Structures are given as structure tokens and as C-alpha cells.
Structure 1
Amino acid sequence: MTTLLLTLLVALSQALTPAVRPLPPPLVVARWWDPPPTPYAAGHRGVDLAAPVGARLRAVGPGRVYYAGPVAGRGVLSLTLPGGLRTTYEPVRPLVAEGEEVTTGQVVAVLTEGAHCPEPCLHWGLLAGESYLNPLALLPRPTPRLLPTSPPAG
């Protein structure tokens, strides 16, 4: 295993226990994470979660506001999380300021209009240093439940 991959896995495993969803359930993925093969190649460096404009967005874990403001005409919020990870939300109207500490589940932004998706969505990203990771990996995996089969006809 490469050193970079090992570092990323350690950071991710130390990051958030437990994490919360940035939006209320159910999460509807409009576009999945699709990492580029090289740093400058095409890809999708986060996930797009369908949500209405005005949706209240929550901090997925405790941390500090790294950046809150415009980037390329869209509102962006970036939070530094435990383990050195950084999560990003866009397009948003941040409700917190740079340097402010946030708690898990705290409402930190409101979703605004954006040109990223055909329908309103939150673009949610995750970085370890300069490497993009799948932000869905922060969330607990659902617990599978087996349903009983119908009784045999008799």
C-alpha cells in the first residue's frame, strides 16, 4: 500500500465518529463521486445531493470554518475536521464565519441557486491535503435488514 493511500485511510478512520448527514434523510445522490485519473483530468471531485433551495445544511462533524465566502460566483463553505480532513459545501449562503468553531449537526449554511446541477443540489466535497476523497465515506454505512419471506402457500 502506498504511503499516500495509507495516510488518507488513517486520516479518514480518525475523522468523524459519529458523522451526521449534511442534509436530512433520505440522501438522494444526483451525481456520484468520480475521481479523476490525474490531478488535472476531468472527473467529479465530490457528490451532488439533490435538495431544494433553502435547505439547511449541517456540519457533518466538529471542526472549524476554514473558508466562508464566494468562489467563482458561488457561495462556498469549507470546514476543517478532525484528522486534518476538510469538507466543502456549495452553492451556499454560509451562516458561520471563518475561524468559527462548529459542532456536529450544527446548521452552518443554506443551499442557494447554482449552475452545477440541472436541478438544485448540494455539491459536497472532502479533501485530505490536496487529495479528493468520497465524502459519502464519512457517513455510517446503513445496517442491512433481512425481511421475512412470505409463508409458503398452502
Structure 2
Amino acid sequence: MRILSAPLQRSVALAVAMLLAFVPTTAAPLPANLAWAWPLAGAPTVVRGFDAPAKPWLSGHRGVDLLAAQGTPVVAPSDAVVSFSGVVVDRAVLTLTLKDGLRLSFEPVQSGLRAGDAVVRGQFLGVVQGPTHCRDPAATGSCLHWGVRRDGMYLDPLQFILDLRPSVLLPLRG
């Protein structure tokens, strides 16, 4: 068995220590925002995903469309306060505001809730009812559009439900 010289042993020990510094000793917790629930029962089909526009004034899809027949119940993904409940153009819209300022919008949702009403995660908000903008024929023309905004900037709602972080391969421990 060959023994390494003292300087080489120190270099190897330093390299191993540096490598181990990047290996978590426990599983990293999921982001707190993954504590949200789906706004529809189960894990609904995403008919059309989020497509951020290159510039705020350009076209895009500022939310996700979830397959939902007319009359499907909609529930609160998180604790919030209703900040808007009414009609925009020809669609019933419900907007919730969370403590951290995020705004969640749902359309078309017929709801008996009014601005200022507090809701808790899983609470019934209303039902999908009215014209939708679904373009997928598999959606049978009906869906729930769900948008999320922070300070006027639209975010992908799925990042609050699914772990969309990239997979990272870590070295094996000795």
C-alpha cells in the first residue's frame, strides 16, 4: 500500500472537505409556496400552460387553463382575502389576495363571495360558469383560467403547485 506525502494528503483532505460542503446533510425543504392546493379537485389537466410575453405589452398566456366543465366547483388554493368579485367584459372573475401580496385570479367563476371576504385553503369559492377562452378541442370548450400576479407581473401558477425546480445530481457520499 502506497502512502501519500503529507502535502498531497492535505490537498486531498481539503478537496474532500470542499466537496462535502456542497452535499446537503438533510433533504432540502420544498419552497414554502408549494403548500398551495389546486383550485379544482384532484390534479386537473392543464389544457394550456403559462407563456410569458417577451415584453409586458406583447401577446402571451398570462396564466394556465385547467380542464373544467361548466358547474365545476372552484376552491381556494391558499388562505386569502377576496379583492374582486365581478364581471370583466363578459366573464365572471374572482380575485384573491394573499398576505404576501400575490393576487390569484380565476375566470369564469360565479361566486357569492364579495371583496373583503376571508377564505381558507380548500374553501369553496364558486363554480366555473360562463364563456371561457379555451382553444383546445379536448377541453370541450370549457376551462378555468388561473392567473397569478406579483406587483403587476404575471407568474406561472404551476410553480406554486408543482416542484418545477431543475433536477440536480449530487456526488455520492463515501
Give the shorter-chain TM-score range: 0.7 to 0.9
* Gap runs ≥5 in structure 1: 1-12, 143-154
Equivalences, count = 130
Which consecutive segments of 4 or more residues in structure 1 shift more than 6 A? none
1:122 aligns with 2:139: no
Q: More strand by proportion, 1 or 2?
A: 1
**Matched-pair identity in %:** 38
TM-score normalized by structure 1?
Answer: 0.79
Larger radius of gyration: 2
1:58 matches 2:80: no
SS in structure 1 of the partner of residue 133 of structure 2: coil
How far is the alpha carbon of 1:16 from its aligned partner? Answer: 4.1
| Residue correspondence of structure 1 range 71-90 to structure 2 within 5 A | 71-90=88-107
Work out which of the residue numbers 144, 153, 160 in structure 2 matches 1:138.
160
- Map of 2:53 onto structure 1: 36
The 8 Å contact of residues 15 and 82 in structure 1, kept in 2 or not, is answered as: no
Tell me how far apart the structure 2 counterparts of residues 17 and 33 of structure 1 sit (CA, whole Å): 17
Task: Report the Cα offset of residue 117 of structure 1.
Answer: 1.1
- Give 2:121's match in structure 1, choosing from 104, 108, 118: 104
Q: Shift in Å at residue 53 of structure 1?
A: 0.5
Distance in 2, matches of 1:99 and 1:15, equals: 25
TM-score by length of 2: 0.70
Match of 2:65 in 1: 48
Give 1:15 deviation, angstroms: 6.7
When residues 85 and 139 of structure 1 are mapped into structure 2, their CA distance, relative to the original with a 3 A threshold, is same
Unpaired stretches in structure 2, ≥5 consecutive residues: 1-29, 136-140, 165-174
